[in-house]
Amino acid sequence: MPPPNLYTFPTPSSLATSLRAYILSAQNASIERHAIFRVAVSGGSLPSTLADALLAPPAEGNPHDRVSFEKWEIFYADERAVPLDHEDSNHRLVKENLLDKIPAEMGAPKVFPIDVSLLDDLEELADAYEKTLVASFAARDSVRIPIFDLILLGCGPDGHTCSLFPGSPLLRESEAWVLPISDSPKPPPRRITLSLPVVTHGLKIGFVATGAGKKNALHRIFDEEDAGLPAALVNRLAQERVTWFTDEAAVEEVVATKRRGSL
Ligand SMILES: O=C(O)[C@H](O)[C@@H](O)[C@H](O)[C@H](O)COP(=O)(O)O
């Protein structure tokens, strides 16, 4: 099986351009396949990079370079258990960086935030979000596990992804689609997250990881294939369905032969 793809870009804008091409190729294939594009996104620095990629003007004369937001369903790969307008909310980040800036002519995505009436009970919050997935996926596909067309993730300096952290018992979950976490090492502590099987069943899984803070994690993920790191587990389980978008600083410690320059 071909290994995960690791791309490295010299500038944030070249990264955003390639990320756009990657997302739109997934979008176009999904719309052709089932007339919908179901995406899960994380928080951190991703929403701002995503906005740079998606709100850029389309390439003239290229019909494939159009973002069809009206066909998008956006879910959260992980979310913090806070109100939707709270400074820690991933939904707020996505809304302020991207959703609020989509011009009317680009269409409006359907967005699925958490149910904030359940913030006091993490189990309930996770269960309700799982039911949201059931309603979207099972109704159309009667599936055992939701298969997102695209899952867009970040990676922490400790190799975490979504809210799946190294050493967490949540990594062993094989049944639930959405899990509660009350002791996230990265604040805030209370969150929900997609489970590892849901992440690794994504048709395409894209990571964006930039900056020197990620260099040790990327070395451990790509050179050591250290299965203690959740992001390395995603690589191991999903292989060529995984694509990493990085900058020079983040891959400084990764063996050069594993990197590629462009998509
Ligand atoms: O809500 C969160 O905390 C995230 O979803 C988390 O998994 C994030 O994506 C990584 O920590 C990378 O964050 P940065 O891109 O900001 O480094």
The pocket around ligand 1, CB under 6 angstroms, is made up of 42-46, 78, 90, 154-156, 160-162, 186
Q: What is the 3-state secondary structure (H, E, C) of the chain?
A: CCCCEEEEECCHHHHHHHHHHHHHHHHHHHHHHHCCEEEEECCCCHHHHHHHHHCCCCCCCCHHHCCCHHHEEEEECEEECCCCCCCCCHHHHHHHHCHHHCCHHHCCCEECCCCHHHCCCHHHHHHHHHHHHHHHHHHHHCCCCCCCCEEEECCCCCCCECCECCCCHHHHCCCCCEEEECCCCCCCCCEEEECHHHHHCCCCEEEEECCHHHHHHHHHHHCCCCCCCHHHHHHHHHHHHEEEEEECCCCCCCCHHHCECCC
Predicted pLDDT at 257:
79
What is the token pair recorded at 184? Answer: 């996230």
Q: Within 10 Å of residue 93's Cβ, how many Cβ atoms?
A: 22
Q: What CATH number does the domain located at 5-258 have? A: 3.40.50.1360
Predicted pLDDT at 118:
98
- Give the residue, by CA position, lying nearest to ligand 1 atom 2: 43
Predicted pLDDT at 2:
87
Which residue of 52, 84, 186, 234 sits with most ligand 1 atoms within 8 Å of its CB, as the best mutation to test the pocket? 186
Q: How far is the CA of 45 from the centre of ligand 1 (A)?
A: 7
> Ligand 1: which atom is nearest the Cα of residue 90?
1
Q: How far is the CA of 161 from the centre of ligand 1 (A)?
A: 7
Predicted pLDDT at 260:
81
- Give the residue, by CA position, lying nearest to ligand 1 atom 11: 156
Which residue of 15, 19, 42, 165 sits with most ligand 1 atoms within 8 Å of its CB, as the best mutation to test the pocket? 42
Q: Give, for all 263 residues of the chain, the pLDDT tens digit.
A: 889 999 999 999 999 999 999 999 999 999 999 999 999 999 999 999 999 999 999 888 888 999 999 999 999 999 999 999 999 999 999 999 999 999 999 999 999 999 999 999 999 999 999 999 999 988 666 678 999 999 999 999 999 999 999 999 999 999 999 999 999 999 999 999 999 999 999 999 999 999 999 999 999 999 999 999 999 999 999 999 999 999 999 999 998 778 787 77
- Give the residue, by CA position, lying nearest to ligand 1 atom 13: 44
Predicted pLDDT at 235:
97
Q: How far is the CA of 46 from the centre of ligand 1 (A)?
A: 7
> Ligand 1: which atom is nearest the Cα of residue 42?
5
Q: What is the C-alpha to C-alpha distance for residues 57 and 39, in angstroms, rounded to an integer?
A: 21
> Ligand 1: which atom is nearest the Cα of residue 186?
3
